[in-house]
Amino acid sequence: MSIANLTSRRFLLVAGLLLLLLVFLATFPLYTSRSDVLVLTIILMYIILTVSWAMFSGSTGYMSLAPAAFFGVGVYTAALLFSEKWALLPLPAVIVIAGIASFVLALLVGLVTLRLKGIYFAIFTFGLVVLIRQLLVFWELQIVGKRGQHVIAVSGDTVYYVMLGILVVTLLTVYLIRRSRLGLAMQSIGGNEEAAAHMGVNTTMVKVLTFGISAIFMGAAGAIMATRWIYVDPVIAFNVFYSFMPVLMAVFGGMGQLYGPVIGAAIFAYTERALRLQSPYYYMLAFGIILILVILYLPGGLVSLVPKLQNKLAGLISKFWKGGKAEQHANT
């Protein structure tokens, strides 16, 4: 069998599995409880945050702690445009505007800060989250005179389907970027930024643009979560937790492949949920231990297990296959 044939068969297999998974996710609310749908909604949200974080930070090596800022901007866009007092726009428009608002913020921040290297960039982006939060607190308390905003409630299933839609768009975009010239440029920046610039890569443009693209999905996810929370205030919306979780989840899953952050976020978010319910006091401890173990023994993340498992599996199958053949011979 030719290699082209094999790869196309592999492609069909992967595409088929993905389609099955999508059908499963799309029909999930039909045969499960409302609380299960909520759990899955939150898992999808973390996958969106993690995949978009890894798209930028994983490939360029610029460690951004800004996800909470972009997520929060999305939340507050919904709070202002989809408020209980005035529903200015339909939900889809609010989601799109939230994405655009985060994109614009990321472009502005990127232009100012992406010349900072390493730890300084991380600190600045972290500061951004706190800065915006405090500005909003000030605005609400001093100018509006009332803390928090009420957002129009949307059914759990709607929230779930919108989140799923955002996830599909995110994954498609990231998949295409990774395979494009832009993806190669980002990778070269992560490899050696100076060399990349001298090979003709407009490093500033590439960094600012991809930082902006990654922020779109975070903002969109924030907007739809706001309709789930109903009441939001700056502390809820700009929770630094949403900056650290994507980093942890991406490291946990492994950043070399697109599916690394997906698997990392899915498993991480699910176990976090389960651990929190079972032992509310010790779940952070258990969490920390799992993380340390992964970083110590699987520096490439969970996905680095895949090739090892594949080899083992292939070994087992060929053994089984040969065994079966021998049996056949014995029978004839």
Per CB under 8 A, residues contacting another protein are 181, 184-185, 187-188, 190-192, 194-203
- Tokens 């970083």 belong to 295
Can you state the angle between helices 3-27 and 156-179, rounded to 10 degrees? 160
Q: How far is the CB of 182 from another protein (least distance, A)?
A: 10
Q: Count the alpha carbons within 13 Å of 3 in the hemisphere toward its beta carbon.
A: 0
CB of 196 to another protein, least distance (A): 7
Q: Exposed, middle or buried by CB within 10 Å (0-12, 13-18, 19+), for 206?
A: buried
Tokens found for residue 327: 């049996």
Output the smallest distance, CB 117 to another protein, in A. 15
The single-letter code of the amino acid at 67 is P
Q: Which two tokens stand for residue 61?
A: 């090596």
Decide: 41 and 159 in contact? Cβ < 8 Å: yes
d(CA 251, CA 87) in angstroms, rounded, equals 40
Question: Which C-beta is closer to another protein: that of 200 or that of 280?
Answer: 200
Q: Which is nearer to another protein, 60 or 77 (CB)?
A: 60
Please, are residues 261 and 53 in contact by the beta-carbon 8 Å criterion? yes
Is the CB of 192 or the CB of 311 nearer to another protein? 192
**Which backbone phi and psi does 151 adopt, to 5 degrees?**
-105, 145
Give least dist CB 185 to another protein, A: 7
DSSP class per residue in 125-168: HHHHHHHHHHHHHHIIIIII-S--EEB----HHHHHHHHHHHHH
The least distance separating another protein from the CB of residue 27, rounded to whole angstroms, comes to 38
The distance of closest approach from Cβ of residue 186 to another protein in the complex, given in angstroms and rounded to an integer, is 11
Q: Which is nearer to another protein, 166 or 201 (CB)?
A: 201
CB of 303 to another protein, least distance (A): 15
SS3 116: coil
d(CA 245, CA 212): 19
User: What's the half-sphere exposure (Cβ side, CA atoms, 13 Å) at 138?
Assistant: 6
Question: Which residues, 6+ apart, have CB-to-CB distance to 186 below 8 Å?
Answer: 56, 59, 60, 177, 206, 207, 210
Q: Give the position of tokens 């980093």.
A: 247
Question: Smallest gap, in angstroms, from Cβ of residue 190 to another protein?
Answer: 8
Nearer to another protein, 78 or 196 (CB): 196
Output the smallest distance, CB 193 to another protein, in A.
9
What's the chain's Rg over C-alpha atoms?
22
